[in-house]
Structures are given as structure tokens and as C-alpha cells.
Amino acid sequence: MRHIPRKRFGQNFLVDGSVIHDIVAAINPKQGEPVVEIGPGMAALTKPLLEHLDRLTVIELDRDLVVRLQANPKLNVIASDVLNVDFRQLSASLGGQRLRVVGNLPYNISSPLLFHLLDAIDVVQDHHFMLQKEVIDRLLAKPATSAFGRISVMMQWRYAMERMLDVPPEAFDPPPKVMSSVVRMVPLTEWVQVPQPLLEELVKVAFSQKRKLVRHTLGKWLDEKGFNGDFDVQRRAEEIPVDEYVALVKAVHGV
């Protein structure tokens, strides 16, 4: 029986065999690895992944699809909204290994999901995600470009990232109205350790009025924190490199 894609779940099922092959090749799954697939849908990616794995954990919200997936004895099916999944707990249940998380992500929750996974980065080996191309443009954006924003800073602080391939709308059923891309995200082994909530707060304030100089936003925030160090606030938020944001948090945290 054919499953009708549900708009409220952001379902666009990948159907292009060559794209699926390229994604699996990029992931390069190995026996014994704790691979977790988000939003397996009609199992287009699930089935070729299982050719390399004895066991695969999948997270699916759509109850009709959950029933189909549960019929496969090689799948550990978590019937849940992925934003409610505790990835640290999941890692512990899979033997404490760092997770390899993959998926064709629902575009309507991509940013909240990336931040949710950032909170559990210590139990992650890598991510391979299909996302809206525009989102990956923002993930990889350089300072002083229009795409550079809050998500660029937060993800570049903790991940090394690269675009693996671009995917046209016709590779999906139904075709989305946007181009898609696949990104690889690997947690950095070395990074400047600062309180994540404070960095999130600082960056959110900085980009709250993106077209204005940060003296109107971040400048006031720094004054409220009692910061009297050196920082050039005569710039727009997109002009400030990641390492400067991180260094500023470190300085504020030490005040």
C-alpha cells in the first residue's frame, strides 16, 4: 500500500537511486557501528544502510511508517519526535559508543534539530544529513557574507563541516520547491571550551538586528554584563569571525 507523504511532517521521500548510493558511500557505514537514522520514511536510505549493518536504530514520528519499520527485525525503531529523543541516553543504550547520525531531515525542523544535537555532541562521531541547500549554505558560510549567521557561528564552533553533494528536487517524491544538499559534520577534537548557553545568548543578541552595528545590540549586552574589555562594536554581526565571538564569551565569562 502506497504511503501518502504528509505535509505536517515535512515528508519528501528520496527516490533517486544514484543519489541514495552516493549518500551511503559518503557515510561508509561499518559493521558494529551505532548508526542512527532520523526520519527513515519509506526506508530508501534504510535498506542500503542495512546491507552494511547488522542493526540500525531509526527514529520515526509517523505512526503508519513506524508499523512498517517495526516489521523489519534488524531495526530498532524509536517512535518519537526526534526533538524529544535523549541522544546521550540512546548512546548509553547502544553500548556507550559515539553515534553516527544520518538522515534526510524534515526541513521544517532542521535548525532546532541541529541545536538539539549540538547539546549531545559529546556522544556523536559524525552526522551526514540531507538538508535544504540554503541551510547548508548558512552552516558553511564565511564571515562578511549574507549567509553568515547565528547557526554558522554555533556549528562552526564545534564541527568541521563539508558539503558532500547537491540534490535536485526531482530526486524526491513529492519534489520540494528547493534545492537540497548533503553535509558531513564531524565534531572537532580541539575547540575553545566556553559555556555553550552563554555563547548562544551572546550570538542571539548579536544577530537580533543583523543590519545594525552590534553596538546597538551586543554593545548594550556587554555593558549589562559589566564587560570593560576591548571589542570593536562598530561592525555588523556578520562581519565578526567565529573565533572572536568565542574569545568574547571567554572574556565575559571571566569577568
What letter does residue 189 receive in the DSSP assignment?
S
201 is in an annotated binding site: no
Identify each DSSP E strand in 89-244 by its residue range.
99-104, 124-132, 159-167, 172-173, 180-187
Give me the long-range contacts of 55-62 (CB less than 8 A, separation at least 24): 57/90, 57/94, 59/85, 61/9, 62/6, 62/9, 62/11
All cell numbers assigned to 70: 517495526
Helix axes 133-140, 110-118, angle to 10 degrees: 40
Bridging pattern class, strands 172-173 and 13-14 = antiparallel
162 is in an annotated binding site: no
Count other Cβ atoms within 10 Å, centred on residue 104: 26
12 is in an annotated binding site: yes
37 is in an annotated binding site: no
Contact yes or no for 207/225 (Cβ under 8 A): no
22: nearest Cα among 168, 143, 189, 209? 168
Q: If you count DSSP H runs as helices and E runs as strands, how many of each does the chain have, helices first?
A: 10, 9
2: Cβ–Cβ under 8 A, 6 or more apart, which residues?
A: none
Q: What is the C-alpha separation between 127 and 235, in angstroms, rounded?
A: 33
8: Cβ–Cβ under 8 A, 6 or more apart, which residues?
A: none
39 is in an annotated binding site: yes
72 is in an annotated binding site: no
Q: Which residue numbers belong to the known binding site?
A: 12, 14, 39, 60, 81, 104
Q: Which residue numbers belong to the known binding site for S-adenosyl-L-methionine?
A: 12, 14, 39, 60, 81, 104
